[in-house]
Amino acid sequence: MSPALGEFTGEEDVQLPADKTLFGKYELGKLLGYGAFAKVYQGWDIESEQSVAIKAINKQRVVKGGLTGHVKREISAMRRLHHPNIVRLHEVMANQKKIYFILEFAKGGELFSKVAKSRFSEDLSRRYFQQLISAVGYCHSRGVYHRDLKPENLLLDENWNLKVTDFGLSAVTDQVSGTADKVLHTMCGTPAYVAPEILAKKGYDGAKVDIWSCGIILFVLNAGYLPFNDPNLMVMYRKIYKGEFRVPKWTSPELRRFLSRLLDTNPKTRITVEEIYSDPWFRIGYKDADIKSQYFETTKDDGGRNLKNLNAFDIISFSSGYNLSGLFDEQDAGEMFLSTVAPEAIIEKVADAAEEEGLKVAMRKKWCVKVDGGQYSNFTLMVEVKGLTEEIVVVEIRWRECENESGQEMWKDKLRPMLSNLIYQPEVNSE
């Protein structure tokens, strides 16, 4: 369970909802875990009869706790990710009280529970570290930095393969101000896994922080205990900042050297994902095909922005099921849809439709247009077009209204019907 969603407490009400069927699509089963803001159940997809994990988040508690951003970040991060070593987000649904994440079910449970019983052999530690780096490298290639990697956030499937989960503290590049240098400033993470540059509070590279945490995880898998640990938090932080740790005597010279590169207190000289792939200790038993896979291929649009070669999951990710605008009943409302029409033509069509309805085009560029209400003085509409693939774009529509219902009525009853021929409905194989 994500720290962002609250630590487990014995006082939490753990009773199953009276209605064990969600939206006629999923059946709730036994409780797997719970915290102050969320519960996780085993569930079943009624149609496919496949097991899923259902994370039920209490809206009111999240809003009161100021954690709306955490939930949105988790959805925003996970909808970008489709990798065999990352828990897959199938769907997001919501009602007045709850938000439901429908997730891939990891039957093997937490990796932490396995290593807590006994340390792993060096070969087994390497196997799981290889899977971890495959997932982390993929996340970084998609602009997602986890920032809370630890064994408790690593699950195992029925074949004992690793699955990274819990992106509640993640950072996504297009959500971070000043993303050109990828410098982040938020103090986050679990104390024993926090990188020294986070403690310095001078800004940090999300990729470098994740690599440090991966080094801590590899140390724990091999040793069975943490490299930096002390009941006094400040003493532990001092050890982390100085990089003071001792590897156990059974550690091979090759792994000792590798750990020293992972747990380098200087982020500028710390090993990178690309260098990890080339390391002799890491490469034992690792196939090139796993490294240079389809997940890292990129193309560029005419705006110079990187676009990924997307699969069916990416298209599903931009469907209405992933629209976050209404999750927390915010003042801004909106929708998004896919289109195969050129961005300029979409913007022109929106502007023409707005003017036909007596609205004022306040701002117009190649990729976006802003419309003011005219006679609907409280209504503002923003339409932005974003590249998804070479053929498909995402059209995001957001409107704001102050005192009346004219905004929603204007968009849904008048403007949207005039733009229906722009909408692309992909045929996606659900298997």
Domain residue extents for the chain: 3-104, 110-296, 300-422
Q: Report the C-alpha gap between 345 and 101 in whole angstroms.
A: 35
What pLDDT does residue 363 have? 85
Phi and psi angles of residue 210, each rounded to the nearest 5 degrees, phi first: -65, -40
Place of tokens 């920032």: 147
Catalytic-labelled residue, pool 13, 123, 148, 230: 148
Instruction: Mark whether 148 is an active-site residue.
Output: yes
What pLDDT does residue 189 have? 52
Comparing C-alpha atoms, which of 277, 133, 143 is closest to residue 213?
Answer: 133
The CATH T-level fold of domain 300-422 is TATA-Binding Protein (3.30.310)
What pLDDT does residue 134 have? 94
What single letter denotes the amino acid at residue 261?
R
Contacts of 298-305 with C-beta under 8 Å, sequence gap 24+, read 298/141, 299/390, 301/387, 301/390, 303/367, 303/387, 305/387
Q: Report the C-alpha gap between 112 and 153 in whole angstroms.
A: 8
306-308 and 333-339 beta bridge pairing:
unpaired
Domain 110-296 has CATH 1.10.510.10: yes
What pLDDT does residue 281 have? 96
Domain 3-104 has CATH 1.10.260.40: no
Q: What is the sign, positive or negative, of the torsion defined by CA atoms of 408, 411, 413, 416?
A: negative
Tokens read off for 119: 């340390």
pTM: 0.66
What pLDDT does residue 225 have? 92
What pLDDT does residue 122 have? 95
Instruction: Average pLDDT across each block of 10 residues of the chain; the chain has 431 residues. List them in order.
Output: 37 51 86 80 90 89 78 78 89 82 90 90 95 93 85 89 79 45 47 83 82 95 92 88 92 96 95 95 76 36 37 44 50 69 90 86 85 68 76 76 57 81 64 41
SS3 state of residue 208: helix
Contact 307, 391 (CB under 8 A): no
Place of tokens 């690309």: 274
